[in-house]
C-alpha cells in the first residue's frame, strides 16, 4: 500500500476535482471495478431550477438553485442546502459526493446529496428568504421526500429555513411531514442535542484519538479556529471535560492565554461586542498565529483551506480534528503526516451532525421524541465505532486516517452497489 497516495493532487483544484481525484485514488487502492467507479464518478441526479420571487419592493428577481443527489445505494439521499452567492453546480456536486462517503463512514442508512441557491441572504429580507425557500421547495417536490432525499441546514440556512421547507412540502401532501427535513426547531419535530451534535462528535473523536496516542485529555491544551456553532460548542465541551482552551478565534481575529480561557465568558463577550478579540486577560493573535500555536489539540472549525503547504510545517499540535469541511489541503496533509501529527479527517470528525440528523429522521418517522441523554449516548456509540473502524483500516493498510476513512466510506457504498446489481 502506498502511504502518500492522497497527495499527488495539485493545490489549486476545484472541490469537484479534489473529490474525483480522491475517488480515483481510493478506487485504485481497493481495486474497485471500473463500472462501479464510473457510477460513483457521476451523481445519480442533478436538478437545476430557477427560483423567481417578488422582492419586497415589487420587482421580480430570479435566483439559480440546484439539488444534487450523488448516490442512494445505502438509503435516501441526505445533505444540506446552502444559500450563498458563490454556489455552483460543481461545488454542490463535490459536497454531495462527500456526504455519500460521510454517511457510509459513520454507517447510517443514507446516500449523499447537497443543494444550494445562489443568493446573498445578507442583502435579502426575512420574507424574501422565505419566498425563495418555499418556491425552491416546490421546484424540488418531485425529487425530495422522506424516503427519497432529506435536506438539512448548511451555510446561511437554519432551523427556520427547514421549518419553511417542511411546511411547504406538507401543504402539497395535505398532512404534516416532519421527516422530509432535519435540523428543524424542536417545536416542529427537531431533535434534542442537534445544535451541539457536530461538536460533540468532534470531541468523541478527539477522546478516541487521545486514547490511541496515550495522551491525557485533562489539562490538554486546545486551540479552536472559528467560534460559530461548531467552534464554540467544541470549546465548551472540551473545557467541561478538563481540556485547557488556550486560544479561540473568529473572522475578526483570535485571543490567547496559556493559562486557559473560559469559553462561556468569551461567548458572552462575543455576544456583547460581536467578536472574540480584546477579551480581558488574553493576548490578541491572528488566525494564522492560532494555527501555529504550541498546543496538544487543534480544531479548525471555520473554513476550508486553512492548513496549506505554506503553514503545515509550522503546525505544532499533536492532534488536528477537522470540524470544518476541507480545512486541510492535500499538500498540507502530506506534511502533517510526515510530522507525525494525528489527523482526524472531516468525513469522520464532523459526521456527528449528519448522525444527529439521522436520529431526528428516525424520531419523526416513529413520532417519538428522545431525551438529550438518549441521543448523546447513541451519538457516542456511532462515533466511537466509526473512529475504531477507520483507525483499524489505517493500521492494517499502514495509511493515514484520511485515506482509511475514504477506503471505508467508498468501500461500503461500492459493496451496496455490487449487491444491488445494475438494473435493467
Q: Does residue 105 bind ligand NAD (CB under 6 A)?
A: no
Q: Does residue 15 bind ligand NAD (CB under 6 A)?
A: no
Sign of the CA dihedral with 177 first, then 183, 185, and 189 last: positive
* Minimum separation from the CB atom of position 210 to ligand NAD (A): 21
Q: Does residue 69 bind ligand NAD (CB under 6 A)?
A: no
Q: Which of 75, 146, 228, 260 binds ligand NAD (CB under 6 A)?
A: 228
**Residue pair 188/364 in contact by the 8 Å Cβ criterion:** no
Q: Does residue 347 bind ligand NAD (CB under 6 A)?
A: no
* Minimum separation from the CB atom of position 422 to ligand NAD (A): 32
Closer Cβ to ligand NAD, 5 or 285, answer by number? 285
Closer Cβ to ligand NAD, 36 or 321, answer by number? 321
Q: Does residue 353 bind ligand NAD (CB under 6 A)?
A: yes
Q: Which of 227, 256, 358, 370 binds ligand NAD (CB under 6 A)?
A: 227
Q: Does residue 325 bind ligand NAD (CB under 6 A)?
A: yes
Q: Which residues contact 2 (CB under 8 A, 6 or more apart)?
A: none
What is the C-alpha to C-alpha distance for residues 354 and 183, in angstroms, rounded to an integer?
A: 9
Of 96, 103, 172, the closest CA to residue 137 belongs to 172
Is the N-terminal amide bond of 415 cis, ω within 30° of 0?
Answer: no
Of 180, 195, 61, 212, the closest CA to residue 113 belongs to 180
Q: Which of residues 162-221 bind ligand NAD (CB under 6 A)?
A: 198
Tell me the residue nearest to ligand NAD as measured from the CB: 228
> Which of the residues are catalytic?
114
What is the C-alpha to C-alpha distance for residues 254 and 278, in angstroms, rounded to an integer?
A: 9
Q: For the chain, what percentages of helix, strand and coil (3-state, to nearest 5) are there?
A: 50, 15, 35
Which of these ranges, 38-46, 63-71, 298-306, 382-390, lies near ligand NAD under the rule CB under 6 A? 298-306
Q: Does residue 230 bind ligand NAD (CB under 6 A)?
A: yes
**Residue pair 78/110 in contact by the 8 Å Cβ criterion:** yes
Q: Does residue 329 bind ligand NAD (CB under 6 A)?
A: no
Of 207, 216, 238, 205, the closest CA to residue 389 belongs to 205
Q: Which residues bind ligand NAD (CB under 6 A)?
A: 198, 225-231, 249-251, 287, 301-303, 323-325, 350, 353
Amino acid at each position: 500500500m502506498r502511504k502518500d497516495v492522497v497527495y499527488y493532487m495539485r493545490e489549486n483544484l476545484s472541490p469537484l476535482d479534489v473529490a474525483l481525484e480522491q475517488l480515483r485514488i481510493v478506487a485504485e487502492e481497493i481495486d474497485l471495478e471500473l463500472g462501479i467507479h464510473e457510477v460513483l464518478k457521476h451523481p445519480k441526479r442533478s436538478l437545476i431550477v430557477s427560483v423567481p420571487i417578488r422582492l419586497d419592493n415589487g420587482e421580480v428577481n430570479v435566483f439559480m438553485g440546484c439539488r444534487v443527489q450523488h448516490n442512494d445505494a445505502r438509503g435516501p439521499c441526505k445533505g444540506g442546502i446552502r444559500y450563498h452567492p458563490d454556489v455552483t453546480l460543481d461545488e454542490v456536486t463535490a459536497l454531495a459526493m462527500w456526504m455519500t462517503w460521510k454517511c457510509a463512514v459513520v454507517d447510517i442508512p443514507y446516500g449523499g446529496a447537497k443543494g444550494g441557491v445562489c443568493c446573498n441572504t445578507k442583502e435579502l429580507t426575512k420574507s424574501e428568504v422565505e419566498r425563495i425557500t418555499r418556491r425552491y421547495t416546490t421546484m424540488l417536490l418531485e425529487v425530495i421526500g422522506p424516503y427519497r432525499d432529506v435536506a438539512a441546514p448548511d451555510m446561511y440556512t437554519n432551523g427556520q429555513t427547514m421549518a419553511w421547507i417542511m411546511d411547504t412540502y406538507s401543504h402539497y401532501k395535505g398532512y404534516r411531514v416532519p421527516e422530509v427535513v432535519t435540523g428543524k426547531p424542536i417545536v416542529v419535530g427537531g431533535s434534542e442535542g442537534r445544535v451541539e451534535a457536530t461538536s460533540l462528535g468532534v470531541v468523541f473523536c478527539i477522546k478516541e484519538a487521545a486514547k490511541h496516542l496515550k495522551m491525557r485529555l485533562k489539562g490538554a491544551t486546545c486551540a479552536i479556529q472559528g467560534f460559530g456553532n461548531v467552534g464554540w460548542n467544541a470549546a465548551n465541551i472540551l473545557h467541561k471535560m478538563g481540556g485547557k482552551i488556550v486560544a479561540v478565534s473568529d473572522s475578526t481575529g483570535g485571543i490567547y492565554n496559556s493559562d486557559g480561557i473560559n469559553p462561556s465568558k468569551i461567548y458572552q463577550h462575543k455576544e456583547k461586542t460581536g467578536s472574540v478579540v480584546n477579551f480581558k486577560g488574553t493576548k490578541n493573535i491572528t488566525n494564522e498565529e492560532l494555527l501555529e500555536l504550541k498546543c496538544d489539540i487543534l480544531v479548525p472549525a471555520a473554513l476550508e483551506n486553512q492548513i496549506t503547504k505554506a503553514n503545515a510545517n509550522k503546525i505544532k499540535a499533536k492532534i488536528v480534528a477537522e470540524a470544518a469541511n476541507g480545512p486541510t489541503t492535500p499538500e498540507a496533509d502530506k506534511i502533517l503526516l510526515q510530522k507525525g501529527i494525528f489527523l482526524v479527517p472531516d468525513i469522520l470528525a464532523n459526521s456527528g451532525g449528519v448522525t444527529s440528523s439521522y436520529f431526528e429522521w428516525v424520531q419523526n418517522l416513529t413520532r417519538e421524541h428522545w431525551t438529550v441523554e438518549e441521543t448523546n449516548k447513541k451519538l457516542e456509540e456511532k462515533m466511537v465505532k466509526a473512529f475504531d473502524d477507520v483507525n483499524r483500516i489505517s493500521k492494517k493498510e499502514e495509511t493515514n486516517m484520511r485515506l482509511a476513512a475514504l477506503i471505508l466510506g467508498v468501500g461500503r457504498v461500492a459493496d451496496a452497489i455490487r449487491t444491488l446489481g445494475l438494473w435493467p
